[in-house]
Structure formats: C-alpha cells, structure tokens
Amino acid sequence: MTEERKDMKIRKGLIVSSVFMIIAGILTWFYPDTALLAAALYLGIMFLIGGSGYLVDFFLLRSGWLLAVGLLNFIIGIILILNLGITASSMPVLLAVWILCVGVMQVVFGVDVRSAADPAWKWIMMAGVLGILFGLLILGYPAVGIFTISALLGFYFFIYGCLGIAEYVEMKKKKGK
C-alpha cells in the first residue's frame, strides 16, 4: 500500500471517529443515565470477551496463568453485568482515569509531532490538555453526581470530536501543499 493511500485511510478513520465522538457527546447530554448504564454494560461485555479469549488460549497452550486470567476476567464481566447500577456509579471514576491516561498520551504524542514540524500538533496537544483537565475535574469532584459527570463526559466527547475534525482539516491542508 502506498503512503498516500495509507494517509487517506487514516484521514477517513479520523473523520469518522470524530463524527461518532460528537454524536456520542450529544447523546450523553440527552440520556446521561442511559449513557452510564451502556458504558457499564460495554465494560462488562469487554471483560467477558477478553476472558473468553484467554480461556481459548488456555486450551491451546495449557498455561495456568491464561486459565487464571481468563476465569478472573470472565467472573468480573459477569459481576459487572449483573450489577449494572453499581458499575455505572463507579464508571465516572474509571472514565476519569481513562481520560487522564489518554490525555497524557496525547500530550506526549503532541510534543513528538511538534518536533517533527507537523502543524497538527496543536490540535493533538489541545485534546490532550483538555483530557487531563476533564479527568482531574471528575476525580476532584465526585460528589457532583452522575448526571453532572455525564454532562462533562458528553462535553469532552463533543470537543474531542471537534478537535479531531480540526486535525483532519489541518492534515488535509498539509496534504494539499
């Protein structure tokens, strides 16, 4: 695959994921309780799928570690799904940690991209700084309630999607030069 063709696929993926982030943000504003329950269900399903993968690997490789991790993931997935209310109420903290991690990685990536003289660095850095700020805000004020946290999460998704579109436009301008 040529570099130009690979570039186009990356751009298409960036614009599609950015639009979906904007839609997710808007839906989170209108349905905050449903958004948290959906995220809790998603997390439980991901643990079930991950656990199933480890169990399949156990049967192929006969490793006790694979069996232990597979069973642990599978059991956690079942517990999360059977207790969606508790999972949803702890979801804001889990999401805050995830947002913080992604934000830090984006800042580090933005520094790398800036040193390569890529004009998209500023959008990557802004998304990273925004993620760090939102993650800290959610962790700092857990008592503000699930609905407020959902509103902040929806705003983060929306802005993240907008910044992704700005990055896409910047990349497209650079390609045109």
Q: What is the pLDDT of residue 162?
A: 92
Residues 6+ apart with CB under 8 A from 24: 154, 157, 161
Average of per-residue pLDDT across 66-81: 88
- Does the pLDDT at position 5 exceed 60? no
pTM of the model: 0.51
pLDDT band at 9 (very low <50, low <70, confident <90, very high): low
Average of per-residue pLDDT across 164-173: 86
Q: What is the pLDDT of residue 133?
A: 92
- Does the pLDDT at position 22 exceed 60? yes
| Cβ atoms within 10 Å of 103's Cβ, excluding its own | 22
Mean pLDDT over the full length of the chain: 83
- Does the pLDDT at position 7 exceed 60? no
